[in-house]
A and B are shown apart, each in its own frame.
Chain A
Amino acid sequence: MDNIIEFENVTKRYNNANTDAVENMNLHIKKGEICMLVGPSGCGKTTTMKMINKLIKPNSGNILIDGKNIENIDSIELRLSIGYIIQDIGLFPHMTIAENIATVPVELGWEKGKIDARVDELLELMELDPKIYRTKKPRELSGGQKQRVGVARALAANPPIMLMDEPFGALDPITRGKLQDEFLKIQRKIKKTIVFVTHDIDEAIKMGDKIVVLKDGKILQMGTPSQILSNPIDNFVSELIGGNSSIKMMNLIKCESIMQKVYTMDINLTFEQAKKSFLESQVNQMVVTEDGEKGKYYIDLKDILKNNGKVSETKIEIVDRVLMDATAKDALAEMFSTGKHYIFVEDSSHEIKGIVTINNLLKVVSDGDSGSI
């Protein structure tokens, strides 16, 4: 079964409330997917998430995990098998970092050697040197470090599902960005099913495979980040996204998908031959090859015309590049810092694979506006 978490007509109304916190919710979350629950305060996103590990009981409807109705699963057993992280993390102040992380494995009765190994493994994953951090206490850690320990603690028993409630909300923007990147990197390795609550649409777009926009306890729109960005279903969602959705789109698109093929030119060509080559191909930059070997230098049309020079004399060393899976936004940022209207794209073995020009980027923005991604 592809859907690991399913909500069927789930409704929740708190005592003394006039309206439903969550109304008739139907939701399917696939295995290995990061599902972002986004929306303003009070929209029901945290309530929805907390019903998954039975911290909150629905008034009606069914919630199934792996096809089984969670009502028939023991709460404690369920929670031990789901990772849980909250905004204030809730690290136990009287326990060491190692003891904090080991909490669920200890409950599950793992043997000591296995627990110790797992703690070290997780600390390394979080880029915290186990030798140093094992015995520290939470109060000795910075906000970002505490949050990393929180993630490690949730991952300790290797649960297939993780619930994360605004885990990076209390951090400053720089640390938050870093942790988001690190988390995405880890997720690529571990492929957990994640339900992530946030009120920050940018975080949702950056991290989510699927975005669920909630308002007043109901699902307004559900889709991939680019679907939401290019086709907001109503004013509310548009406003939620904020202006500049096309700029936001740049954050999603990888250089790989917008780069153009790079042309080569032999180093021994004369001025006239080079000029002709450029006219024919209609590009402004080409990579220089020497005896078939390419990649170290390039030639810019502007330079050839200026100096009437030979290729071998006007060639420029290729210094600035971006990786193929860098985003369009990264490419733009590089262009700002180099002052040029183009940037070369390389793969992980440093081979030049293409080039992104300012025109490619403008096309992304304009395509985004017309919704034709």
Chain B
Amino acid sequence: MNLFNFFTSRWETILDLTLEHFIMVITAMVISIALGTAVGIIITMNRKMASIVLNITNVMMTIPSLALFSLLIPILGIGKAPAIVGLVAYTQLPIVRNVYTGITNIDTSIIEAARGMGLTEMKILYKIKIPLAFPAIMTGIRTATVMGIGIGAIAGYIGAGGLGVYIFRGISRTNDNMVLIGAILISIIAILTDKLLEKVQKKYEI
């Protein structure tokens, strides 16, 4: 049966999987952005911590995602939990690094003027540092999210659901249609998300 027919005959399942994928990725991204931004801000206050944390997140990214997920299974069981934890871990680097660089790249005379004028550190953080670092942070979020969509697909292998399921199942059953549907849909979602976030990013450029 050709691709189009395959799609139309299974569209309900496909829709479910797509939704599942979305929810998984969005949940993980919300947590990751919150965590990553907090960590990124904290390490701007301490250079030593900064290099340690950046190195750790760097290494976290080299670990093959599949391996990470698999290792989390004995601790968290199979399904969504290890997937989300793994996703959060993976997407930390682009976010943390961009928050850190975004803030540390701000012209020091701006911060000095703010401090000398009498703004508290907190006020400086949310009135000046974060707004000025926002373009960099947005870029990090964009990279992280697109990455998250892809890794979310890999999570399909460990029973987390999502479109990855179609790909892996398709491979093991030699069902080309399944594989292609899964791959095409994920690709489209990834590209659309990238373009969408690019628009948001451009809007906030100073």
Contact = CB atoms under 8 A, between A and B. Distances in A.
Interface of A: 53, 55, 76-82, 84-94, 103-104, 107, 139, 150, 153-154, 163
Contacts of B114: 90, 92, 103
A86 B128 contact: no
A104 B118 contact: yes
14 contacts: A55-B112, A79-B116, A81-B118, A84-B113, A86-B116, A90-B109, A92-B114, A94-B131, A94-B132, A94-B206, A103-B117, A103-B119, A107-B123, A154-B117
Interface in B109-138: 109-120, 123, 128, 131-132
Contacts of B111: 90
Interface of B: 107, 109-120, 123, 128, 131-132, 206
A62 B179 CA distance: 76
Given A86-B113, A90-B113, A94-B131, A80 B118 contact: yes
A154 B118 CA distance: 11
Looking at chain A's contact residues, is the secondary structure mostly helix, strand, loop, or mixed?
A: mixed
A78 B118 CA distance: 7
A80 B107 CA distance: 22
Contacts of B112: 55, 86, 90
B26 to A, nearest CB: 28
A336 B161 CA distance: 90
Contacts of A81: 118
Contacts of B131: 94
A90 B107 CA distance: 8
B117 A80 contact: yes
Given A94-B131, A94-B132, A94-B206, A89 B109 contact: yes
Contacts of B132: 92-94
Given A92-B128, A94-B131, A107 B118 contact: yes
A94 B128 CA distance: 8
Contacts of A93: 110, 132, 206
B123 A92 contact: no
A63 to B, nearest CB: 16
A77 B118 CA distance: 7
B189 to A, nearest CB: 32
Contacts of A82: 118
Contacts of B115: 55, 79
A84 B107 contact: no
Contacts of A88: 107, 109
B130 to A, nearest CB: 10
A141 B123 CA distance: 26
B116 to A, nearest CB: 4
B119 A107 contact: yes
Nearest to A55: B116
A94 to B, nearest CB: 5
A103 B115 CA distance: 12
A109 to B, nearest CB: 13
Given A90-B114, A103-B114, A154-B117, 5 more contacts: A77-B118, A79-B115, A84-B117, A89-B113, A104-B117
A86 B118 contact: no
Contact of B110 (A76, A92, A163): A92
A139 B108 CA distance: 17
A91 to B, nearest CB: 7
A211 B119 CA distance: 31
A12 B116 CA distance: 19
Contacts of A76: 118-120
A125 to B, nearest CB: 19
A150 to B, nearest CB: 8
B203 to A, nearest CB: 13
Interface centre among B115, B118, B128, B206 (most CB of A within 10 A): B118
B113 A79 contact: no
Contacts of B119: 76, 103, 107
B123 A84 contact: no
